[in-house]
Structure formats: C-alpha cells, structure tokens
Amino acid sequence: MSAKDVYTVGKDITFKVAAGESDAKGTATTYHAVAVVKKSNSAINIDNLKGKRSCHTGKARTAGWDMPVGYLIDSGRMSVMGCNIPQGVADFFGQASCVPPWASCAQGQNPSLCPAVRYSYEGAFRCLVEGAGDVAFVKHTTVKENTDGNSKEPWAQNLLSTDYELLCRDGRRAPVTDFENCSLVRVPARAVVVRSEVDSYVVYNMLHEGVLKSKFPMFSSAAYGGKDLMFSDTSEAIILVDMEYKPWMGLRYYNALRATDCASDTPEFLRWCVLSDAEQRKCVDMADAFHQRALTPKIQCVYGDSMEECMQKIQNKEADAITLDGGFIYTAGKKYGLVPASGESYTGDTDGSVYYAVAVLKRDNMNIHSFGELQGTTSCHTGYGRTAGWNVPMAVLMEKGLIESQKCQMPQAAGKFFKASCVPGANQPGFPSNLCAQCIGDSSGSNKCERDMDRYDGYNGAFRCMVEGSGQVAFVKHSTVFQNTDGHSSEPWAVNLESRDFHLLCPDGSRAEATQYAHCNLASVPSHAVMVRPDTNAHAVFGLLDKAQAFFGSDGGSGFRMFDSTKYGGADLIFKDSTVKMIGVADKKTYTDWLGQHYIASLEVMDCPSSATALSSLSLVLVALLSSLLTLLSM
C-alpha cells in the first residue's frame, strides 16, 4: 500500500507494517514534501506565508496539496472552518494560488495563474520560476531535476539550483540540498501490511530471498504494461519494519493527513459549558452572533455548577468545550482526559500564549519591599485555584520558606500568612474566613466571595481590590495594570489611574516599574486554553474561533465582542478580556505539552489525590522556583 492508503485503512482495520521498500543501501525509499522559494525573495519564511502567492502540483496530490495544507493547518498557521479546505486555502493565500485543475481549485483563485503547463511537480516549480507564485510546494528532487542543465525544457534553461531555497519548519531557510533537515513532511515509502498475528519476519525473509535469489523482476512493471505494480519500480530492496502503522509513517505525516481528513468528524454543534448567569448571557449572544455570520459548528450553551462539573459533562459527552486557566488544565487533562483545541494569545503573536504572573503594589506604598514584608498585610487574588492570582504567589511564598503547608492545606497556610484577603471562590467549608474578608460582593452587596460574581473577581477585580484600598498587594497577570490605566478602561474606579503609579514586587526583594514585567515576575504561565475531548476535531474548533475573531475579535463597535465582558457585568467570561486573538495549539496537542514539563513536575510532586481543586492550588511550586532563580541569575 501507499502511505496514504495505509492511513485510510488504519482508521478502520487493525494491522501492522511488516516490511518496506528501500534502495540498494537499505535506505527506505521515500521523498520529502518541501516549500521552495527564490533565494532573491529573502523576506519570505514559513511564518509569513499568509497572503503570499502559492503554486501547487494539484488538488489532493501529496507533496503539492495534502502535505503543505495539512502541515499549515496542523501547525496552527492556517485555519479551516467546517472542513471547507479549499476555502481555507483561499482565505490563507488570498486570490493568488495555482492549484490545478482549475475546476477543483481553491475558491477565488485567478485562472490565469493555472494554465495546464503548471500542473504536477515541474508545473508547480515553473509557476514559481516564471513569477506567478512566491512559493512552490513540490518534492525534494524537483528543483534539481529542472536546474543545472538537467532539463531540456525552454523555460528551465540556464536555471541554477543555488538560486532557490527551502523554507524550514522552524522559520529558517536552507539550500535545496538540505531537504532532510528542512522539509515540511517526510512522505513514507510503500509498505507491505499484514494482519497483526502474522509473523513479519516470515514475510520479510520470503520477499528478501525473492529479491536475492529469484530471477523474477519484483521492481519492474514494464512487462505488464503498467507502473509500480505491487512494488515501486524505483525500489531495489526490501527492509524489515515490524511495527504499527502510526510509528512507521511518523507523526508529522500522520498529523498532516489527519488535519485534512476532517469531513467525517466535524461536529454540527459545539456545546460550550458556562459557569455563571453572566457567562450564560454572553454565550447566548455569541451563539446568535456566530449564527448570523453562518459560522460552523453552531454554538450551544450548557450550564455547569463548577469547573469540574463542566469537565465531567465534556467527558460524558453532555458538553464539548470550556476555556480553562493553567490551574485547571492539569485536572482536565489528567482526570478527565481532555486536550487543548485552541489557546489565547495576549500579544497577537503565536508566542503570545504565555503570560507573566506579577505582584502589584501602589507606588506610594513604601512599607513593602520584599515578600517577607507581605506577612500580616491584606491581599487581593483573582480567585481560588487560579494560576496568576493563587497558584503562583502561594508557590513563591512556599519556595521562600515564608509559609509552611501540610499537603493540600494551602488555604489554611494563606489564612495565617495574610491578615485578610479577597480570594473569590474560597468561601468553602473548612477554609479560613479571612480569605473572603476583603471581598465586596456584586453591585447589590450579595454573593460576596462568589467566583465570577464578586466585583473583586478575576484580574481586573483583584487590581480594583487593591486600587480601592481593600488590599495592599494584587496578584494578577502582567497586562492587568495597563488594561485599567492610562485611559484604557471606562470603569469609574479606573478612569483616572496611571500605570506609572504602580510598582511590581520582584522575587529578589526589589521593586520595578510595571513595564519591567519580563524581568520582575513570579512565573511565566501557560495561557488559557479551550479544552475538549480527544475525539473532538480540534481543527474544527480553532477554525470556528479563528473565523469568528475576524468579525468579533475587536473591542470596538457596538456588536458582539468575543474578548470583552463589560456588557454582562463580569470579567473574563468565556475568554479572558485581555485576549488579543485565538491561536492554534500546533505541537501542544496534550495537556502536558501545553503546560510544559516543569509545570507538570511541580504538580506531580505536590499531588493531592483526594482533591483535584487543592491540587491546582499547589501547581506552580517548581515553576515559580525555577523562574525566580532564572530571574535572579539574569539580573
């Protein structure tokens, strides 16, 4: 079978790969799908292909379509809504792609770019050579076969291979000879597949002996009037494989095909789990706004009483998605088997999926210069179990030896360290009452210390708590100060605030301007992620959100705003209000990938089997320790 057939059959049938084809040296016969550009076009790289002109070998062909399109989708660079891949390609490359044949090309492309001579490998390369495209998606041998005097075609005369380069996955560019280290995907050779109980060694030995001792031409189809019959005509030997098909083909190839194979598992509805009445109202408006723009899958809203109930509903297929912060992603992944489908970026870049947890003080509060001097003070937190507002500062206090906590007793330790606090969500049986003492409730004074309901809940709420004098320190994320100062907020409590009036408290005992968060922070924290079941098509989820943010991602205008919760009397509803854009998860396809090994190690060291919520409250001890040490060493 070809590798693509192996992938297709593998979805429904259990089997293994017994042997593969190779050259005379025993190297598997394979090729690399590459992206080729002119060396003179020095500005182009794999990260800025959006809007460029592209040349493809043909629709549904491996090197020119399946691999580059699949790779761009899987890496989060290209989004596809509703599995409409041609439209996704058209949106990504604009009006300037050549994907022969024209009748099945990406919608909106220019027919003049797609004459018949620009079909197949040579045609796609010719499209690039003649200036019709900025990048050509071909196989690794195409450039050499059409340059350096190797082609007699008039358009290929005088072409030099050194005038062309490959685009690498990591953003580099490389000579066309370096395809093994600079390709989009390695395409596996044909494979001999057998039932799982069949002995691969018997199959291999039979075929290997046949090549060596038989006069039968296994690797020639000329006598039968065909090409590549049973075996590839270019092969010379058989090699032993004996493994399952996914490891054989490799994750890059598998993921690229998986990204384009979405028709069968794109859901009609995406049921979003919400946690409050305010979030429910925003969800309903989001569903209506998305429907008016004909975005798919359609949004439905499901109510959950807690984060964990929502996780349980998703696991039980009673809901499909929820946005969680780093403190709960671990629980969602480990306990409920959920995986990330999309992430929040707070910078607008693909690397903006990380933010900094900081401790903020008023500039004129000169009584505090170190974390030790926080003892006996009042504090403001985003919420119990939340990363920047609870997990990180508690971990820092533990790392510095300022608090001692028996396993899973962090609330009691915090209650002893601080005089009084506002920790929304800490109104739980057995928790110290002073953790809620500084909270003020909703606009009517009710729901004091309730998550998502207290006016001091969330990033903006914790900062407001400090601004209004209910706390001397606020544990928030690095962008919170700027979102509520210098005229960036219309809230009455924030309209006259200036960012220069606030300081950051650094782990080394110094203070810094609010702008110095990269060097004065408590930890670098994974951003919030949309978590779903593994059987949910993550590409469909990101495709929906990416398309939606083109219409609703701005905080201006009078319509629905994905990243603004002020209309609903809350903050960070469904998405964090500081989100600039939603991004794909790329290679961070599991909760461990998303959180990182240091984060996971800290959780496993402090594991509390009896309470997943308490687990998250201790989740960044090692991360905070490492971040603090690195900060000190770099200063």
Annotated binding site: 31, 57, 61, 63-64, 121, 325, 355, 382, 386, 388-389, 459, 528
- List 104, 196, 220, 446, catalytic entry: 196
Please say whether the beta carbons of 76 and 340 come within 8 A.
no
Q: Cα-atom radius of gyration of the chain, to the nearest Å? A: 28
Task: Work out the angle at residue 169's Cα, subtended by the Cα atoms of residues 168 and 170, and round it to the nearest 5 degrees.
Answer: 90
C-alpha–C-alpha distance, residues 321 and 300, integer Å:
10
Q: How far is CA 37 from the centre of its chain?
A: 27
* Residues placed in the known binding site for Fe(3+): 31, 121, 325, 355, 459, 528
Please, which residues have CB within 8 angstroms of residue 35's CB and are 6 or more apart in sequence?
46, 49, 68, 135, 136, 137, 166, 167, 184
Spatial contact of 305 and 425, defined as CB atoms under 8 Å apart: no
Contacts of 10 (CB under 8 A, 6+ apart): 245, 246
Q: Are 150 and 157 in contact (CB under 8 A)?
A: no
Residue that is written with structure tokens 């043909």 in the block: 58
Out of 16, 59, 139, 448, the active site residue is 16
Compute CA distances 237 → 203, 208, 212, 376, 595, whole Å.
14, 7, 9, 76, 44
From the list 475, 523, 505, 511, the residue with the least C-alpha distance to 626 is 523
Catalytic: 578?
A: no
16 is catalytic: yes
Q: Which residues does 109 contact at the CB level (< 8 Å), separation at least 6?
A: 90, 93, 95, 96, 97, 98, 99, 102
Q: Give every CB contact of residue 9 below 8 A, 6+ residues apart in sequence.
A: 1, 15, 193
Just list the catalytic residues.
16, 196
